[in-house]
Amino acid sequence: MSEENVITADMEKQIGNTLNIQITQIDRRAVDQYIAATNDSNPLWQDEDFAIKAGYGGVLVPPGLLVTMQMEGGSPSDYMPAQAHLAGAIDGGGEWVFYRSIRIGDTITAVRKLNDMTEKKGKVGPMILNTIEVTYYNQRSEIVAKSCWRTFRHSTE
Amino acid sequence: MNIQVAYEDVKVDMEIPPLTLETSTRLSVRWAAASGDDDPIHYDQNYAKGQKLPNIIINGRLKIALLSQLITNWMGPQGFLKKLEASLRGMDIVNDPITCKGLVKRKYVENARHLVEIEMWIENKEGKVTAPGSAIVILP
C-alpha cells in the first residue's frame, strides 16, 4: 500500500456539499412493504379507527420507514462520483432525530449532504468514513426528521 | 403496543419488553423491496459465500428499523420517538433469530416534556451484541 493520501482533492471538494435531493410521496404500498419486511404489527400504522381514537387524523407512517429511505438516491458512488473507484459501502450506523409524524400521502423531500470524510485504518487497509446528513422536509416545508449516517469504504477493490 | 406507558410509571433500569425476529431469506428479500437496497449479500447465498461471508447477512438498516419497533411497541400510541441512534458492529446471519432488548437509563423533564432515555441493543442467538444503540422518547 502506498503512503499517498486515500482522500484525494476531488473527494475532499464534496465535503459540505449537497449531494442530491430526493422527493418521495409516501403511499400505503411503501408502508405495507415496510410492515411486511419488519413484521411490525402496530395498529397505529394500519388501523384507521385505532389511530383516530388515539387522537391522530388517521394512520401514521412508522418512523423506521425513514431508515428504508437511506439508500434512495442511489449508491454512494452515484452521488459521490469522486469515490467511484472505491469498493462497496459498509454501513456503520447512524442517528435519527424526529420532529413530526409523517402521514400517508405526505411528500417527503430528502436533502442529502456530505458532512465529513475521514481516513480510518481497517483490517484490509485504509478506509474512508463518510458522514452523510439527510434532512427530511414535508410538503409544508416543515422539517420532519434529520439523520446522520456513517458509511465506510475501502480504498482498494 | 396498544397500552399507553405513563411517564410517572417509568422507572430507571426498567426493562423494555424484548422483540425477537426469526430472520429468513424471504424477510431479507422483503427488506430489499421496501428499502431499494438490492445488494445480493442480503438474499443470494451463493453470492454472499463468494464474497467470503459465512452466509446471507441481515441488512444493518433492517436491524435499526427493528430497534425503532422495539421502542414504538413499548411507548404506546401517545408516545413520540424523538431520537434513535445505533451502531452496526457485527453481522447477523440469515435464519438466526435476532433479539432487540432495552433498558430505561434516565427519565427527566425538559421544556415541560417528559423524556425517557433508553439504552438498547440487538443480540444474536449466542447473546453477542451486534448493534448497540439508544433512544429518547417523549411520554405523556
ipTM of the shown complex: 0.94
- C-beta of residue A109 within 8 angstroms of C-beta of residue A120: no
User: CA dist B22 to B15, B27, B115, Å?
Assistant: 21, 9, 31
Closest-CA residue of B relative to A28 is B34
Min Cα distance A86 → chain B (Å) is 16
Give the model's pLDDT for residue A71. Answer: 62
Chain B partners of A51 at a C-beta cutoff of 8 Å?
A: 77
pLDDT, one tens digit per residue, over A3-61 is: 567 888 888 888 988 988 999 999 999 999 999 999 999 999 999 999 999 999 999 99
Give the model's pLDDT for residue B65. Answer: 96
pLDDT, one tens digit per residue, over B6-65 is: 999 999 999 999 999 999 999 999 999 999 888 899 999 999 999 889 999 999 999 999
Among A67, A72, A88, beta carbon nearest to B65:
A67
Give the model's pLDDT for residue A8. Answer: 84
- Mean pLDDT over B1-9 rounds to 90
Higher pLDDT among residues A84 and A19, named by residue = A19
B20 touches chain A (CB under 8 A): no
DSSP label of B9: G
Buried b (16+ CB within 10 A) or exposed e, B106-136: ebeeeeeebbbbbebbbbbeeeeebbbbbbb
- C-beta of residue B115 within 8 angstroms of C-beta of residue B109: yes
Say yes or no for a CB contact (<8 Å) between B83 and A98: yes
Chain A partners of B83 at a C-beta cutoff of 8 Å?
A: 95-98
Say yes or no for a CB contact (<8 Å) between A71 and B65: no
Chain A partners of B21 at a C-beta cutoff of 8 Å?
A: 38-39
Q: Concatenated DSSP letters for B71-118?
A: HHHHH-TT-EEEEEEEE--S--BTTSEEEEEEEEEEEEEETTEEEEEE
Give the model's pLDDT for residue A90. Answer: 84
Among A34, A55, A96, beta carbon nearest to B83:
A96
Percent pLDDT > 70 in chain B is: 100
Percent pLDDT > 90 in chain B is: 93
By mean pLDDT, which of A92-96, A139-143, B102-106 is the weakest?
A92-96
Give the model's pLDDT for residue A1. Answer: 45
Distance CA B62, CA B27 (A): 10
Chain A partners of B133 at a C-beta cutoff of 8 Å?
A: 93
pLDDT, one tens digit per residue, over A103-133 is: 999 999 999 999 999 988 877 788 889 999 9
Please report, to the nearest 10 degrees, the dihedral formed by the alpha carbons of residues B39, B87, A6, A135 taken in order: 80
- At residue A2, does pLDDT exceed 50? no
B82 touches chain A (CB under 8 A): yes
B43 touches chain A (CB under 8 A): no
**pTM, full prediction:** 0.93
